[in-house]
Amino acid sequence: MKKPTPYTISARMYDVISFEWPIYRAGRTAAIDLMALSKGSHVLDIGCGTGLNFALLQRQIGPTGSITGVDSSPQMLEQARRRATSAGWENVTLISADATELDSVDLGDHVPFDAAISTYALSLMAQWQIALDAMIGATRAGGVVAVVDMQKPVGRAELWTPLARLACRLGGSDIDAHPWAAMPTRLDTVQPASVRGGHIQVRVGSVPSV
């Protein structure tokens, strides 16, 4: 019997129970603003979940661009498919795959992509370094790679740390993974952003030409 994914039951309610609008939407917005994608860009979305990045990306890439969303949860992908269908986005392709095994996955006709993004997904993976390298490897030289993930709040917001830890634990994330920390050794010109009391960390860099 196939092992259930963490979102087998919660996928339909994920957008409501994940604190997207009050907290985590800010990280997606900050990252995609920094990406500053051109019209017609082809984007790889790793751990796309229910497609919460799609609307923000569509505003930049337009109908001539494309989004290829990858997620290991069929239930989350079904919600992403419903989102794309409801919005009339014909430029969205969804692929069921493990992000740490992208080398064996057919990602379609847009490889290498102009950009890749992963929001709140790498910290879910025990081998997130492999997924990050796969994102970079699937992006063309000079292309943009963005990572959004979580850490303990800092400064005055540090008092919210127990709640942040609980939210990450319930979602299966490792709040101490800090996957963005590996980006400066892999990418050029890494731009940082920090929102929601430092709980959300954003990094956007470009793929080296050599």
Residue 73 in contact with residue 63, Cβ under 8 Å? no
CATH code for position 46 = 3.40.50.150
Residue 4 lies in a domain: no
Domain enclosing residue 23, as ranges: 11-201
CB contact burial 3-27 (16+ within 10 A = b; e otherwise): eebebeebbeebeeebebeebbbbb
Residue 210 lies in a domain: no
CA separation for the pair 91, 66 (Å, rounded):
5
Number of domains in the chain: 1
- pTM: predicted TM-score of the whole model, two decimal places: 0.88
pLDDT on residue 11: 44
Band of residue 22 on the pLDDT scale cut at 50, 70, 90: low
Polymer length of the chain: 210
Mean per-residue pLDDT, 114-141? 96
Residue 208 lies in a domain: no
CA separation for the pair 30, 98 (Å, rounded):
26
Residue 29 lies in a domain: yes
Residue 37 lies in a domain: yes
pLDDT on residue 165: 76
Residue 92 lies in a domain: yes
